[in-house]
Structure 1
Amino acid sequence: MAPKRQNESQSAEEASGRDRKKQKTAIARTIAVQPDVGPSTSGAPPEAGPSKSVRFDSMKGLPSALDVEKFAESRAFEINAMNEAMQNARTNSSARAWQQLPRHLRRRAASHDIRRVPLRLRDKARAEMDPARRKALGRSNPKQGKLKSVKRTTSLLSRQKDKTWLETHIWHAKRMHMDTIWGYKLAVTPTEKSFRPSHRASVHGSILHDASYFATIEIKGPEDVLRAALDSCCDCQGPSPSAKRYLSGARTVESHIYEYTRYPHDLVGPATIIWHADAPEPGPPAISRGKHVKGKGKGKDTEVADDHQQRQRVVWIRVHPSITENVHEVLRISLAFALDAVKETGRVAEAEMADLREHFNVFEIMGPKASQVIKGALKPVDDKRSEFKKFWNSLSHIQTAGAVPRGMVIGFTVHDPRLSFPPKNAKLELEGGPSLSPASTVFPSVGLAQSQIWDENTRMVLRKPKYKKKDLDQRRSNNLVPGTTLKSERNDDRVPVLLIQRSVENAALSSPQAPSAASHPASTTSLHGWTLVVPQGWGMPFLSSLIYTGTRVGGQRERQTQAFEAGCPYFPRDFPVTEAYDMYAEDRAEEEHDAWERKPPAKRPSYEKLGTRSPWRPDWGVVLGIEGPATTLGGQVFLETQREEAVAVDGMAVAADKKVEQWLLRGPDVPQLVAEVASMLNPAAGLLIQVNQVRAKRKLDPLVNVRAEDLIKGALVQVSITLCGRGRPDDLAIIYRIGDNEAREWIKAEAKRKKGLSLLHDGGPDETELSQVSPKDGIIGYVTTGSFSLSLGEGHAIGAIPFTQYLELRKQFQRLRNDSKLLVKLRNRDETVCRAGLVDLLY
């Protein structure tokens, strides 16, 4: 048969390019061998010849003497052949230099820039480069002189005119997607695919996040003034920020900031409050310079001490960067009123408030291995406190930071972490037997919480490290034994740090006060770890040591995912009716609307045909019944505000122009408050009574000019929703109420599923029964965060519904005698299928 191509006959005789390449590589990897020339004919003694097989039980065949010089000459061919073979194998490798790097070290710039390649591969990379490109990258002819060139520091500072960089910005910018948020240039997410690995690290390993963008506000003043100011603007539920357990400084308190005496309205946002532990624990103070008061009974005189109320204290308040200015204003007003109240008693008092933004570097290390990472990366200075020694030794024995008390504060001083670089993780040492865990013997105390990081002069001295990295590298190169750690000298820096226990957990799902807390088998995963606070200027030294231990680094997406997987609301995304949420919702609506308009009509959902009332941002006023549905007029959207009807006063019609205020009901006392309000005949009046009782705990006046109907009408509660069957709720999904008949069908289907009977593919009724879009008046809330939960293994959502609707769900729950949780329906804004979900109350 004739060949189909002209060169086919030639290709049969000549090898192809691929075969020639294989042949060339095989030749390059072959070591030449010298042929055997036979025995020597001279009378000289035999030298070492070619290798022969020699029996182990005989010395035959071995020379009686060995001359090293002649032996090397006789083996010169083999030695040269070995060197040439190694060189040829290195130069004829099938992979380029930058391709031999691990995937997490590969960079696109490494393929054409030798300096991006590790030192061991630079010679190979230099040989592989194009000579023309190599000459261009040599920079032998700079465009401008060295004196005229802009310095690197000046160039970097000029790029921070409209935003602020963290100290670890350059490290993050090389490895993460960056975005300008809240006036900072922050890392959003790693460039590599790391969504699931980051979740595994937070559950089984450790993950680090640079939270230095959080603002710290410092207040100095008399103790009674600070306590009064905080009580007037913090959450009235739960323990007070000035309670004894927190006032000592041994623990931090998680609270919420409100406008001055405006609780429960005008929520600003969450805050973490830390008292300085320089003073002794509060208790019966010593009697000194007290007021002389005439006693009763036998006529004895008593001394009333007030020094403990007037002593100067310091408190730090850490808040989210989006509410920094609002918190500043609230604290200023609260301090002003507290000082005025003190002046009325005839005492002169002063308070000072300072903004400590950019004074600290804060790292959040979450996961079971966070304790071992902390102990491996930090080397404490010799500390004589027995409490600290006991705590530091316990870090090697605890399996999770959740074993220590919540919010525990530990202050200590560490050596420069660059001296002991590279660090090694501390190994977990598990002790068998019935003995108590080491963490159960460590308790918060004032002595354990003391740290020099509170001193401003100390922080200013440490603002710039004494030695640069190149100086320490020079000292390390002078060591006689390479690789040994440097010993701390007298001039080396000692850095004070603050270690705070941090937990991301939701107590609502496991609370016995919930109507059906244990009815659903799924439960979220609580995350525990540590918050490390270091002074300004020490961000990169500590970051390098922490990440070298194998800890993953996360951005904003990873931090939000931690809260979502734990079933906790995340600020400001899940806090409606707050100013920070309005700004966040407006930016997201504008971004999503622009992306929707860029798509052609055939490639985007038609929300009008789908019946989605508000596709871009939730209309909480319409859900609460305060505002009417949005209407479009002249291309602009208007909301019909429902105001109160006119009332007659002394025969005259007076229009009530007061608008119902929206507010968010949350706090540790919410389950008990809801249970008591639901049991009353008039829930509106009961809610007002409960709110006034909570305000009385902080010595606040009862709410005036607020009707009970308006208070309960404007209340929202946060809920957690888990889908009964398949599906995944998205952000801004719509929450509908579910009818009694429909709810009974789902209850029966759930009972059959538990018995193991055959059901449909999604474990419930046919989807066609719920595929019809519910009427718009059946909307009772919106999902603020929705996705597939990796910890639950099913769809999960966090949203908000009116408080009145939640009470209706409880009545339906009691009416149907349901063994499951409260039932609602969810529909994504771009779908028509509604799916049933189980509701839990968040607080």
Structure 2
Amino acid sequence: MPPKRKNGTDGEPTSREKKKQKVATARTIAVQQVKAVSFSETAVAGPSNKLGVDSLRRLPSAIDVERFAEARAFEIDAMQSAMKNASASSTTRAWQALPRHLRRRAASHDVRRVPLRLREKARAEMDPVRKKALGRSVPKLGKAKRLKRTEIFLKRQRDKLWLETHIWHAKRMKMENMWGYRLAVHPTEKSFRPSHRASVHGSIIHDASYFSLIELKGPEKILKTILESCCDPQGLGPGSKRSTVGSRSLETHVYTPGSYPFDFISPATIIWKPVDSPLPDTNESSTAEEQQETADPPTQQNAPKRKRKGKGKEQDKAGTTTPARTDPEAPRVVWVRSHPATFGEVFASLQTAASIALADARKAGIADDKEYEIEIADLRRQVNAFEIMGPKSNQVLRGALSPVPQDQRKEFTKFWSELTNLQSSGERGRGMIVGFKVNDPRLKFPPSNAKAKPQTSDYITAPTTLPSPQLAQSEIWDEVTRRALAKPRYKKKDLDERRSKLLIPGTPLNALRQDDRIPVLLIQRSVENTGSDSQALHGWTLIVPAGWSMAFFSSLTFTGTRVGGQRERQTQAFEAGTAYFPRDFPSSAGYETYATERELEDKARWDRKPPAKRPNFEKLGTRSPWRADWEVVLGLPNRPHQAPALAGDDAQEEDAGLVTTQREEPVLVEDSGKKFIEPWLLRGIEVPNILANMSKLFNPGAGLLQEINKLRSKRGFEPLDSSLKSDDLIKAALVLVRVKMCKRGAPDDLAIIYSIEDEEAKKWERAMRNSRASKADLDSESPEELQLAELVAEASSVIGYVTTGHFSLSQGKGSGIGAIPVLQLLALQEQSLRLCLNTTSKKRPLLVKVRNRNGQQCHAAYVEVLEG
């Protein structure tokens, strides 16, 4: 294969050499070639190549300015031409010569941040007047009236909150107000594809400190009842032994208590505090004792062990210790981590569930001689979190973090030694929790990535460390410890002063006794869809105390890890084939807020354009170009959409602390004497089994109602109200699907999904079969396919919308995630079975047509049910 760039071996200069030669020529001043003349022949000073010793004596006493300018006309013209050519050819400034990852916005230019070879040029290009203006110098105001930098920043956070890494992100990324925060959307540089490659082959970090965190304290039995009444009944529940021991986190979804499958709120992560909370004795004092000169009151971290019921600990087959069965009335702590857009709803749901659980316990007579207390606290500003995805995230963490040497736990020592050679964090157990304490990462700055050792044998050795409560122990659960670490003891200038006194420059600082030791939590995170062929992404979630974001973030980013915003996080879920909240969860409050904001933004952008530069949706036949009309697709009365409440409003402030204890029934909408149920989403890991059981029955609605009641009974809920008919239940049900384009075309957001008649489906299948037989290119379409794509789809054949659509980099073709009614999905399955479409595949495909809202052609695509 010929080289991409010419290397100049054939004598022809490269483009880089041509550019250098052009700049050098533009900066060269022409010189006039003259012959030597005697002083007697001229009376003015002219060009000469021979000067005598007594030449100064022969200089004229007066100079004729006009004749002098004529004699120097060539030099003056050459100087003016050189200045003009040099300014015209120097179109690249010093900051533009840097690689993209080193460029910054104009407000953050610093000459010391460029290489040495470009510093003089950058210093010459800086405008001194602008530099003074950027220095925020206000000469008219006195020093007493000037606001401090901290006060200015606090004044700018009146209507939103900043993350601790806001300044770093604001200099390099596009920022927007979202969910009550000022968050980074995407980098200013071109980084869409590099960010995807980093998540697949390297590592990418995202500051997820804006996620809400709620803490519940109380008896274990009551906490289980609270969580099980709110969480999804499909799969393992929050009260299972796998979750309650505290060695693994649980990914679930929160509903209004007792309302499943209606009133979906948000995805959530459940983290239980390990049952064996006291840490093993070490020679190191606790963090709280190091931070305070006076003695702290005894806390749960340093209290003596509680006497527990049972036979003690047992050894399992793998050699790990299994904790003894705890007292169901023993006090426990659990964290609920959810999306910030639904914090108020999740908080109110937990309050309602707590009231119901305490009322049921009181009615059952359990609390006759004892009063139970449930404490629900908001921890949104007490901890910070970073999501590090990619196969190299293990080496990044291994190189940036330095665990304290006093931690002698065998489980952690084994885990930390195996972390370097891990090919991916997916080799660990899903949701595995690791708790440990690290030294101040600024002491080791700059860090270096750990390098994985090559495998000496032909087979890959699997890690042997299993999740255990002993491995998950951490002092970050203690509020006293977190408050003591809210402000680092030493500033960066103090550490730099210590570093300047080192005998060998560049060596890391040794951790002293008075230096901070920070407890952290490391949680395994996977973005994957078990029922799809998409590529799964694995990584870690690092949870640190508040006040330490920049200390850890600087060390993590210095290792070469890319930094992503909201767009990169959405792309990870899209490439992995999973739904992303809130844009892929219709019928939820978070989706309504997102859809309303997008509708206003798209409509305003469309109105700003002249008619000749914007699509005519009326002529294109797009019924609803700004938002998906799910009511029309489901055949329900189209209700006017109301502007939802702003994200970030606390529900506990709206209801003034009043919590209802009544279970709400499904909302029914009356229209002309008929009652319709509001749209709801059928989702979860058991959806394929539910659909398979429904399709076997003559009445699918009755089968759906039976499956839903079976899941409700799993959590101890009563069956759905008898007034709710099975036909109304299935008629209002939506199901998430994955849209895969057969050949050309990439669906956009709000692309329309159409059903296909039997005759047209046969023609599409025949055309694609002939195209595959002729080994045509994927990007080319046969004349028969082009003819079918030009057919105008009827408005009555709309069966759904694409909520997230794009060109999939992992699959190399267009893909999307959308939703269609359950009845339409069953109709597509019957059509595929009736026409025997593509019987060679294991999964029978469901053929549909997809058209973008601003396009005319309809491209063939297959849909499959999205699990999870």
Q: What interval of TM-score do these two structures reach, taking the shorter chain for normalisation? A: 0.7 to 0.9
Structure 2 distance, partners of 1:131, 1:324, is: 48
Structure 1 distance, partners of 2:829, 2:584, is: 23
Structure 2 distance, partners of 1:202, 1:136, is: 40
Give the equivalent residue in structure 1 for 2:28: 22
The answer to whether structure 1 residue 473 and structure 2 residue 473 are counterparts is: no
> Which of residues 711, 732, 735 in structure 2 aligns to 1:714?
732
1:736 and 1:779 in contact (8 A); partners too: yes
Give the equivalent residue in structure 2 for 1:666: 683
Give the equivalent residue in structure 1 for 2:796: 777
- Secondary structure, aligned partner of 2:855: coil
- Secondary structure, aligned partner of 1:308: coil
Structure 1 distance, partners of 2:420, 2:411, is: 16
2:100 and 2:189 in contact (8 A); partners too: no
- Secondary structure, aligned partner of 2:327: helix
Per-residue CA distance 1:561-583 (angstroms, 9 max, x = gap): 11111111100000000011001
Structure 1 distance, partners of 2:198, 2:149, is: 36
Structure 2 counterpart of 1:257, which letter? V
> Which of residues 218, 221, 233 in structure 1 aligns to 2:230?
233
Structure 2 counterpart of 1:272, which letter? T
2:437 and 2:520 in contact (8 A); partners too: yes
Structure 2 distance, partners of 1:805, 1:570, is: 23
1:98 and 1:106 in contact (8 A); partners too: yes
* CA deviation after TM superposition for structure 1 residue 110, in Å: 8.2
1:813 and 1:821 in contact (8 A); partners too: yes
TM-aligned CA distance change 1:766 to 1:154, over 3 Å = same
> Which of residues 815, 823, 831 in structure 1 aligns to 2:855?
831
* CA deviation after TM superposition for structure 1 residue 597, in Å: 1.2
TM-aligned CA distance change 1:614 to 1:124, over 3 Å = closer
Write out aligned runs for 1:135-150 (5 A). Answer: 142-150=139-147
RMSD: 2.9
Give the equivalent residue in structure 2 for 1:430: 454
> Which of residues 564, 577, 589 in structure 1 aligns to 2:574?
564
> Which of residues 585, 605, 629 in structure 2 aligns to 1:619?
629
The answer to whether structure 1 residue 393 and structure 2 residue 417 are counterparts is: yes
* CA deviation after TM superposition for structure 1 residue 775, in Å: 1.3
* CA deviation after TM superposition for structure 1 residue 340, in Å: 1.1
Give the equivalent residue in structure 2 for 1:255: 252
TM-aligned CA distance change 1:119 to 1:137, over 3 Å = farther
* CA deviation after TM superposition for structure 1 residue 611, in Å: 1.0
1:463 and 1:536 in contact (8 A); partners too: yes
TM-aligned CA distance change 1:111 to 1:353, over 3 Å = closer
> Which of residues 498, 511, 520 in structure 2 aligns to 1:497?
520
Q: Which moved more, 1:110-119 or 1:308-317?
A: 110-119
* CA deviation after TM superposition for structure 1 residue 123, in Å: 5.7
Structure 1 counterpart of 2:572, which letter? Q
- Secondary structure, aligned partner of 1:751: helix
2:764 and 2:785 in contact (8 A); partners too: no
Per-residue CA distance 1:563-613 (angstroms, 9 max, x = gap): 111111100000000011001101101111111111111211111111111
> Which of residues 724, 731, 740 in structure 1 aligns to 2:758?
740
Per-residue CA distance 1:24-79 (angstroms, 9 max, x = gap): 99xxxxxxxxxxxxxxxxxxxxxxxxxxxxxxxxxxxxxxxxxxxxxxxxxxxxxx
Give the equivalent residue in structure 2 for 1:357: 380
Structure 1 distance, partners of 2:152, 2:536, is: 44
Structure 1 distance, partners of 2:310, 2:25, is: 98
- Secondary structure, aligned partner of 1:627: coil
1:398 and 1:437 in contact (8 A); partners too: no
Give the equivalent residue in structure 1 for 2:717: 700
Structure 2 distance, partners of 1:214, 1:199, is: 23
Structure 1 distance, partners of 2:622, 2:133, is: 58
Structure 2 counterpart of 1:524, which letter? S
- Secondary structure, aligned partner of 1:329: helix
- Secondary structure, aligned partner of 2:805: strand
> Which of residues 322, 330, 338 in structure 1 aligns to 2:349?
330
The answer to whether structure 1 residue 164 and structure 2 residue 188 are counterparts is: no
Give the equivalent residue in structure 2 for 1:419: 443
* CA deviation after TM superposition for structure 1 residue 661, in Å: 2.2
TM-aligned CA distance change 1:410 to 1:642, over 3 Å = closer
Per-residue CA distance 1:669-723 (angstroms, 9 max, x = gap): 1111111111111111111111111111111111112111111011000000111
Structure 2 distance, partners of 1:834, 1:570, is: 26
- Secondary structure, aligned partner of 1:602: helix
TM-aligned CA distance change 1:408 to 1:759, over 3 Å = closer
Give the equivalent residue in structure 1 for 2:836: 817
The answer to whether structure 1 residue 542 and structure 2 residue 552 are counterparts is: yes
1:750 and 1:764 in contact (8 A); partners too: no
2:733 and 2:822 in contact (8 A); partners too: yes
- Secondary structure, aligned partner of 1:480: coil
- Secondary structure, aligned partner of 1:484: coil
The answer to whether structure 1 residue 589 and structure 2 residue 599 are counterparts is: yes
1:205 and 1:370 in contact (8 A); partners too: yes
2:219 and 2:372 in contact (8 A); partners too: yes
Give the equivalent residue in structure 1 for 2:63: none
Structure 2 counterpart of 1:577, which letter? S
Structure 1 counterpart of 2:374, which letter? A
Give the equivalent residue in structure 2 for 1:378: 401
The answer to whether structure 1 residue 731 and structure 2 residue 749 are counterparts is: yes
Identical aligned residues as a percent = 55
Structure 1 distance, partners of 2:545, 2:397, is: 17
TM-aligned CA distance change 1:817 to 1:111, over 3 Å = closer
* CA deviation after TM superposition for structure 1 residue 381, in Å: 0.8
Structure 1 distance, partners of 2:23, 2:466, is: 73
TM-aligned CA distance change 1:180 to 1:758, over 3 Å = closer
TM-aligned CA distance change 1:614 to 1:387, over 3 Å = same
1:397 and 1:438 in contact (8 A); partners too: no
* CA deviation after TM superposition for structure 1 residue 772, in Å: 2.5
TM-aligned CA distance change 1:18 to 1:428, over 3 Å = closer
1:498 and 1:533 in contact (8 A); partners too: yes
1:787 and 1:796 in contact (8 A); partners too: yes
- Name the count of aligned residue pairs: 711
2:754 and 2:797 in contact (8 A); partners too: yes
Gaps of 5+ in 1: 1-15, 26-92, 289-304, 510-522, 632-640, 647-654
Give the equivalent residue in structure 2 for 1:53: none
